[in-house]
Amino acid sequence: MPEETAQNGLSETAASGLAYITIIPAIIFLVVAPYNQSANVRFHCWQSICLGIACFALGIIGIIPILGWLILFVGMLGIFIVWIICVIKAFNGQRFVIPGIGAFAAKQAGL
């Protein structure tokens, strides 16, 4: 009879992809083992947190009438497209390094 192997928790690719859903899973995966031991999961978590900070900064800029609204719209559209690419790549076990943010995330993840 073949021996069954039990898998505990999420796979590395699932945890990497879920880190982008909101900032909360990203923080949880950075704290909870075995996810915090994987450099790939840590990279995606840090990149997700940085994207969340970028969204927050755009929201602050969006307070400014007209020009701020334009920057908010274009910036959020760009972040949304990058976010979709990151989620797809993470669920496929790949990395999409966002310029600027990705270098910081790689440094924090120890890559």
In a domain, 69, yes or no: yes
59/40 Cα distance (integer angstroms): 29
In a domain, 5, yes or no: no
Check: CB of residue 99 under 8 Å from CB of residue 31: no
45/55 Cα distance (integer angstroms): 15
In a domain, 1, yes or no: no
Name the band, by pLDDT with cuts 50, 70 and 90, for residue 7: low
Say what the pTM is: 0.85
pLDDT in tens, 45-95: 999 999 999 999 999 999 999 999 999 999 999 999 999 999 999 999 999
Q: Which domain holds residue 21?
A: 12-109
In a domain, 6, yes or no: no
Total structural domains within the chain: 1
In a domain, 20, yes or no: yes
In a domain, 2, yes or no: no
